[in-house]
């Protein structure tokens, strides 16, 4: 098991954004974290990456408690993420944007080895622009690819993708899905937060469905998407009862 | 006991000055490092009216406040708006704003030095002793405190019970969202900055009734106002007032128990303690 | 080291060698101007090492500078001078560590506020200690150190600062700071200990300013809190660095030279309006040359190209 979450709770003021959430993740598994808007998915990602501190619960990454670690320490343990709204480093080139991910994190590279890795990843992810272009000149999709490359260069064991497939056209979506499959084949454990149901059906081994901060269902995509509680959470009670 | 009362009296004027900065930073997003100079300008205004025309400070404030409003509105409109437009992010606006107002503070000091010179100034007004719990206090202090209190209450009422006050609070919480509900963000920010400056200047005029000041003392007040705003929590009006009284108390205690020259050290100590214990301020929200 | 780097290195060494000859030609006005230039070059360059990549505006140069000066002033009769410089460096480092650890975990604004009053705070404490425990308000620093020696010491310090800056820019630490300046959230998420990186650079910057103060103490002979901790020093350093440009190691020097010369004229011609003119020139720089002279110099060839091309 690479990741074990037990009773994670996070409140903002009086609101419980995440309420006693528990799940597990094994190597080479893709877990879909789904639920309606505001159900607490991104908060879970933020707590896992250390951007927020949980109020209660226990999080273990590779058998190490990471609940009290700061963001950079968690990154060094082998967890990497992308952001819901892409965060590119504006004053750096494409190549630098990717390379910085492999200097301080889980895998540490420098010099020629770092450059080679960064260039390989850019090619693999299909960023065709020159490595020396300013990152701000890229299209939104290419910026997302650069961000994923930045996460992958450190060779993470757990990868968190927060709506990474959102906004892609059908062709790009197909490429994106096969790319994530390849990452799974390398033995990485991946959590995806997604609204694109096609992607969830074809990618996820397992899904955790959240509503109002709580886990309301867990299982294969086929099972949970047919679940009555899940349907009513997404579409309202009248559909859930039908 | 006289530390308590003395600190309380000082805290009243501090509250006024910090509320001015709170409006400028919380609403207009300008960390105004020239805030203290605006305060000193208010003090010089009151001094000038008093010594030149024998005008009572309370009457002078009636003239100083609109004047300061216009000056600050002009500063925001002509000097800071270009920075707001140029800024790509809130962080960049913060840095540019800090640099620009830092430059302005030196210009204001330079102007006041050129007009009034580098000496210390004070004037005597209402210098009678009033006894509170058998301890003598200057009537000027008490009068200044009462006036500050009236201003503070008026400001709070305006912010919480009027349409324009609501617009200001909306911009403070989220400028983008405020714009979406048809609030003119640029205009509201300019007004908040101008009112902030006017409030600070009125605080200066009140302080001048009992405090000796000189042209270059502004930075100390800037610092005190900043510390109060941070202590109280950005955007927290009640917190600001509470923090102002806390600082007034701490300073008075240090001044009377240790040494009057160490008031800034007291402010700093308070600042550090709160930063370490409650980084978002005494009343700051936790999100 | 590549051929280009070796060429640059030799060029810089030659420039330093030439500049170091100054005391052999003049020991009066020009040497004194040279000392001022070297002092501001040291302070502005070390300021930029930290504030350039992080965008954390430090207004505390005077605090460190004055602390260094006071260490020498307080110990000049007790310890040999080199030991005092060392103590000044240590004191500066400790002070920077304390300030950095308290403020930099939180946000840039708190840092600015904290540094704004730091010099004033230390000045108040020093004044209080002096008036409470001694009878004088200042200290005499009487040594047999000549102005030429001070000049050479400062030039050596400047060379050290450049060397350190070059090494940092080519190290992981330098890269970490650039990422922090771009996006602190991303920096933490790719494994950078942001607080540690910032504090380390602030310590380097503060230590240099402190040593600079210690080196200059013998020149001033009489050290007084209001002079040693004057906010003007912090202010001028920020102006010069911004004027020169904070994105390059050699940027601040482009600001130090013209500004120090201009300042000589202003201080002589308008001794009463220095504050006003300082503020005005600061605003001009912030509004009209935000990338500094170094930025203008670097963009100039590009603009020329685009004009010729279009």
Across the interface, whether the CB atoms of B102 and C238 are under 8 A apart is answered: yes
Which value, to the nearest 10 degrees, does the dihedral of the CA atoms of residues B10, B13, B16, B19 take? Answer: -30
Q: How is residue A93 annotated by DSSP?
A: B
pLDDT tens digits for chain B (287 residues)?
778 888 888 888 899 999 999 999 888 888 899 999 999 999 999 999 988 888 888 888 889 999 999 999 999 999 998 888 887 777 778 888 888 998 999 899 999 998 888 888 888 776 677 776 677 777 888 888 888 888 888 888 888 888 888 888 888 888 888 888 888 888 899 999 999 999 999 999 998 888 888 888 888 899 899 889 888 887 788 888 889 999 999 988 888 888 887 888 888 888 888 877 776 666 655 43
Q: Determine, yes or no, domain membership for B287.
A: no
With beta carbons less than 8 A apart as the criterion, state whether A160 and A45 touch. Answer: yes
What are the tens digits of pLDDT across the range C160-192?
999 999 999 999 999 999 999 899 999 999 999
Residues A56, A54: Cα–Cα separation, whole Å: 5
**Residue A58 pLDDT greater than 90, yes or no:** yes
With beta carbons less than 8 A apart as the criterion, state whether B61 and B201 touch. Answer: no
For residue B55, the Cα-to-chain-centroid distance in whole angstroms is 23
Domain boundaries, chain A: 1-78+157-242, 85-154
With beta carbons less than 8 A apart as the criterion, state whether B189 and B76 touch. Answer: yes
Across the interface, whether the CB atoms of C57 and B220 are under 8 A apart is answered: no
Rounded to a whole number of angstroms, the CA Rg of chain C reads: 20
Q: Which residues of B touch C277 (CB under 8 A)?
A: 110
- The residue of chain C with its CA nearest to that of A160 is C189
Residues C109, B229: Cα–Cα separation, whole Å: 12
Percent of chain A with pLDDT over 90: 69
Complex ipTM: 0.92
The pLDDT score that the predictor gives to residue C303 is: 65
Q: How is residue A101 annotated by DSSP?
A: G
- Compute the average pLDDT of residues C250-271: 88
Residues 6+ apart with CB under 8 A from C137: C127, C130, C131, C224, C225
Measured between alpha carbons, how far is residue C103 from residues A199, B1, B165 in Å?
A: 45, 34, 33
Residues B124, B46: Cα–Cα separation, whole Å: 12
Q: Which residues of C touch B114 (CB under 8 A)?
A: 272-273, 276
Closest CA to C81 of C184, C207, C214: C214
Q: Determine, yes or no, domain membership for B286.
A: no
Strand-strand pairing, A158-162 and A79-81: parallel
Closest CA to A63 of A4, A144, A14: A4
**Residue C302 pLDDT greater than 80, yes or no:** no
- Minimal Cβ distance to C121: which of B94, B222, B268: B268
What are the tens digits of pLDDT across the range A61-98?
999 999 999 999 999 999 999 999 999 998 899 999 99
Longest dimension (CA), chain A: 61
In angstroms, the separation between the Cα of residue B82 and the nearest Cα of chain C is 9
Cβ neighbours, 10 Å, residue B218 = 26
| Assigned CATH for A1-78+157-242 | 3.40.50.300
Number of domains in chain C: 1
In angstroms, the separation between the Cα of residue C53 and the nearest Cα of chain A is 11
Residues C192, A153: Cα–Cα separation, whole Å: 15
- The residue of chain B with its CA nearest to that of A52 is B287
Q: Determine, yes or no, domain membership for C274.
A: no
Of the given ranges (B250-254, C75-79, C131-135, C209-213), which has the lowest mean pLDDT? C131-135
The DSSP result for chain C, as a single string, is: --HHHHHHHHHHHHHHHHHHTHHHH-SSHHHHHHHHHHHHHHHHHHHHHHHHHH------HHHHHHHHHHHHHHHTTTS-HHHHHHHHHHHHHHHHHHHHHHHTTT-HHHHHHHHHHHHHHHHHHHHHHHHHHSS-SSEE------HHHHHHHHHHHHHHHHHHHHHHHTSHHHHHHHHHHH-HHHHHHTT--HHHHHHHHHHHHHHHHHHHHHHHHHHHSEE-HHHHT-HHHHHHHHHHHHHH-SSSTTHHHHHHHHHHHHHHHHHHH-TTSHHHHHHHHHHHHHHH-TTHHHHHHHHHHHHHHHHHH-
User: Half-sphere exposure (CA, 13 Å, Cβ side) for B70?
Assistant: 4
If 0-12 CB within 10 Å is exposed, 13-18 middle and 19+ buried, where does residue A172 land? Answer: middle
Neighbours of chain C (3+ CB pairs under 8 A): A, B
Q: Determine, yes or no, domain membership for C279.
A: no
**Residue C108 pLDDT greater than 80, yes or no:** no
- The 3-state DSSP class for residue A5 equals strand
Q: Determine, yes or no, domain membership for B283.
A: no
With beta carbons less than 8 A apart as the criterion, state whether A191 and A47 touch. Answer: no
Residue A13: φ, ψ to 5°: 60, -120
Residues B228, B224: Cα–Cα separation, whole Å: 6
Confidence of residue C144 (pLDDT cuts 50, 70, 90): confident
Q: How is residue A74 annotated by DSSP?
A: H
Residues B72, B190: Cα–Cα separation, whole Å: 8
Q: Determine, yes or no, domain membership for B284.
A: no
Q: Determine, yes or no, domain membership for C240.
A: no
Residues 6+ apart with CB under 8 A from A56: A7, A8, A9, A20
Across the interface, whether the CB atoms of C286 and B219 are under 8 A apart is answered: no
Residues 6+ apart with CB under 8 A from A40: A10, A17, A18, A19, A21, A210, A212, A213
Strand-strand pairing, A30-34 and A206-211: parallel
Across the interface, whether the CB atoms of C191 and A81 are under 8 A apart is answered: no
Range of the domain at B56: 2-277
Residues B246, A151: Cα–Cα separation, whole Å: 47
Report how far apart the first and last C-alpha atoms of chain C are (Å, whole number).
39
Measured between alpha carbons, how far is residue A18 from residues A114, B285, C49 in Å?
A: 38, 19, 42
- Please work out, in degrees rounded to the nearest 5, the angle formed at the alpha carbon of residue C172 by the alpha carbons of C170 and C177: 95
Residues 6+ apart with CB under 8 A from A203: A30, A32, A177, A180, A181, A192
Residues C240, C259: Cα–Cα separation, whole Å: 6
Is residue A111 within 8 angstroms of chain B, CB to CB? no
Across the interface, whether the CB atoms of B106 and C278 are under 8 A apart is answered: yes
Neighbours of chain A (3+ CB pairs under 8 A): B, C
Interface of B with C (CB under 8 A): 31, 33, 79, 82, 91-92, 94-96, 98-100, 102-111, 113-114, 216, 219-220, 222-223, 226-227, 230, 259, 261-265, 268, 271-272, 275-276, 279
Residues C281, C272: Cα–Cα separation, whole Å: 16
Is residue A12 within 8 angstroms of chain B, CB to CB? yes
- The residue of chain C with its CA nearest to that of A108 is C191
CATH code, domain carrying B65 = 1.10.3470
- The residue of chain B with its CA nearest to that of A53 is B287
Q: Determine, yes or no, domain membership for C45.
A: yes
- Compute the average pLDDT of residues C73-80: 89
With beta carbons less than 8 A apart as the criterion, state whether B237 and B29 touch. Answer: no
Containing A67, the helix (H) or strand (E) segment is none
With beta carbons less than 8 A apart as the criterion, state whether B211 and B122 touch. Answer: yes
Computed over every residue of chain A, the mean pLDDT equals: 91
The pLDDT score that the predictor gives to residue B283 is: 65
Residues C220, C92: Cα–Cα separation, whole Å: 20
The pLDDT score that the predictor gives to residue B4 is: 83
Residues 6+ apart with CB under 8 A from C295: C245, C247, C251, C289
Higher pLDDT, C58 or B138: C58
Point out which residues pair with C222 in neighbouring strands: C140
The pLDDT score that the predictor gives to residue A112 is: 92
Q: Number of Cβ pairs closer than 8 Å across A and B? A: 6
With beta carbons less than 8 A apart as the criterion, state whether B246 and B270 touch. Answer: yes
What are the tens digits of pLDDT across the range A154-195?
999 999 999 999 888 888 899 999 999 999 999 999 999 988
Number of domains in chain B: 1
Longest dimension (CA), chain B: 59
Rounded to a whole number of angstroms, the CA Rg of chain B reads: 18
Longest dimension (CA), chain C: 72
With beta carbons less than 8 A apart as the criterion, state whether A132 and A115 touch. Answer: no
Secondary structure percentages of chain A, helix, strand, coil, to 5: 40, 25, 35
Range of the domain at C66: 3-230
């Amino acid at each position: 098991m690479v990741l074990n979450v037990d009773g994670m709770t996070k409140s903002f003021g009086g609101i419980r954004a995440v309420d006693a959430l528990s799940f597990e993740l094994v190597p080479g598994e893709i877990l879909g974290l789904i639920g309606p808007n505001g159900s607490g998915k991104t908060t879970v990602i933020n707590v896992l990456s250390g951007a927020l501190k949980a109020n209660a619960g226990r999080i273990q990454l590779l058998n190490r408690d990471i609940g009290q670690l700061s963001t950079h320490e968690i990154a060094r343990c082998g967890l990497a993420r992308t952001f819901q709204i892409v965060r590119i480093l504006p004053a750096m080139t494409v190549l630098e944007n990717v390379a910085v991910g492999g200097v301080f994190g889980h895998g540490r590279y420098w010099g020629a080895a770092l450059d080679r890795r960064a260039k390989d990843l850019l090619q693999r992810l299909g960023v065709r622009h020159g490595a020396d272009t300013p990152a701000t000149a890229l299209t939104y999709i290419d910026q997302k690819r650069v961000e994923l490359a930045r996460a992958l260069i450190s060779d993470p064991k757990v990868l968190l993708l927060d709506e990474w497939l959102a906004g892609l056209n059908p062709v790009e979506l197909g490429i994106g899905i096969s790319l994530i499959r390849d990452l799974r084949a390398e033995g990485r454990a991946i959590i995806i937060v997604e609204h694109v149901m096609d992607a969830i059906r074809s990618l996820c081994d397992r899904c955790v469905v959240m509503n109002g901060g709580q886990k309301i269902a867990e299982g294969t995509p086929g099972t949970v998407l047919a679940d009555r509680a899940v349907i009513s959470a997404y579409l309202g009670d009248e559909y859930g009862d039908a | 006991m006289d530390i308590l009362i003395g600190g309380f009296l000082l805290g009243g004027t501090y509250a006024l000055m910090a509320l001015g900065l709170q409006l400028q930073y919380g609403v207009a997003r300008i960390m105004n490092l020239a805030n203290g100079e605006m305060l000193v300008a208010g003090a010089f205004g009151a001094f000038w009216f008093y010594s030149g025309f024998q005008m009572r400070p309370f009457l002078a404030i009636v003239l100083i406040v609109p004047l300061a409003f216009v000056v600050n509105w002009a500063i925001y409109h002509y000097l800071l708006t270009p920075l707001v437009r140029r800024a790509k992010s809130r962080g960049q606006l913060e840095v540019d704003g800090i640099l620009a107002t830092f430059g302005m503070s030196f210009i204001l000091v330079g102007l006041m030095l050129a007009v009034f010179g580098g000496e210390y100034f004070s004037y005597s007004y209402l210098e009678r002793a009033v006894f509170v719990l058998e301890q003598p206090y200057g009537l000027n202090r008490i009068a200044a405190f009462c006036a500050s209190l009236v201003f503070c209450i008026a400001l709070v009422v305006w912010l919480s019970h009027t349409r324009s006050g609501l617009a200001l609070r909306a911009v403070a919480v989220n400028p983008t969202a405020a714009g979406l509900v048809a609030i003119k963000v640029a205009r509201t920010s300019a007004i908040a900055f101008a009112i902030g400056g006017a409030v600070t200047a009125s605080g200066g005029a009140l302080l001048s009734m009992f405090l000796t000041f000189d042209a270059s003392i502004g930075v100390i007040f800037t610092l005190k106002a900043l510390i109060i705003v941070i202590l109280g929590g950005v955007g927290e009006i009640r917190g600001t007032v509470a923090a102002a009284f806390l600082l007034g108390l701490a300073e008075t205690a240090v001044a009377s128990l240790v040494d009057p020259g160490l008031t800034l050290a007291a402010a700093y100590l308070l600042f550090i303690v709160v930063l370490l214990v409650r980084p978002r301020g005494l009343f700051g929200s936790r999100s | 080291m590549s051929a280009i780097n070796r060429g640059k290195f030799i060029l810089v060494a030659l420039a330093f060698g030439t500049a170091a000859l100054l005391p052999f030609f003049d020991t009066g006005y020009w040497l004194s101007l040279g000392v001022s230039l070297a002092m501001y070059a040291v302070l502005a360059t070390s300021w930029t090492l930290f504030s350039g990549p992080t965008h954390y505006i430090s207004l505390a140069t005077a605090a460190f500078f004055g602390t260094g000066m006071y260490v020498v002033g307080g110990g000049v009769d007790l310890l040999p001078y080199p030991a005092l410089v060392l103590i000044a460096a240590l004191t500066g480092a400790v002070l920077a560590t304390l300030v950095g650890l308290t403020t930099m975990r939180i946000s840039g604004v708190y840092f600015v506020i904290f540094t704004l009053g730091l010099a004033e705070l230390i000045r108040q404490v020093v004044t209080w200690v002096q008036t409470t425990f001694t009878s004088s308000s200042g200290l005499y620093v009487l040594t047999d150190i000549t102005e030429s020696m001070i000049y050479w010491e400062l030039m050596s310090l400047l060379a050290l600062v450049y060397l350190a800056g070059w090494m940092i820019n080519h190290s992981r630490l330098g890269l970490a700071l650039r990422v922090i300046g771009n996006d602190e959230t991303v920096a933490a998420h790719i494994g950078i200990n942001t607080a540690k990186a910032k504090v380390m650079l602030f310590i380097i910057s503060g230590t240099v300013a402190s040593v600079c103060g210690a080196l200059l103490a013998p020149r001033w002979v009489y050290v007084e809190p209001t002079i040693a901790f004057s906010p003007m020093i912090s202010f001028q350093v920020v102006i010069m660095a911004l004027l020169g440009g904070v994105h390059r190691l050699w940027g601040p020097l482009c600001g130090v030279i013209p500004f120090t010369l201009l300042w000589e004229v202003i201080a002589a011609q308008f001794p009463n309006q220095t504050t006003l003119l300082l503020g005005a020139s600061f605003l001009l720089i912030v509004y009209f040359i935000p990338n500094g002279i170094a930025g203008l110099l670097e963009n100039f060839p590009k603009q020329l190209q685009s004009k010729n091309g279009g």
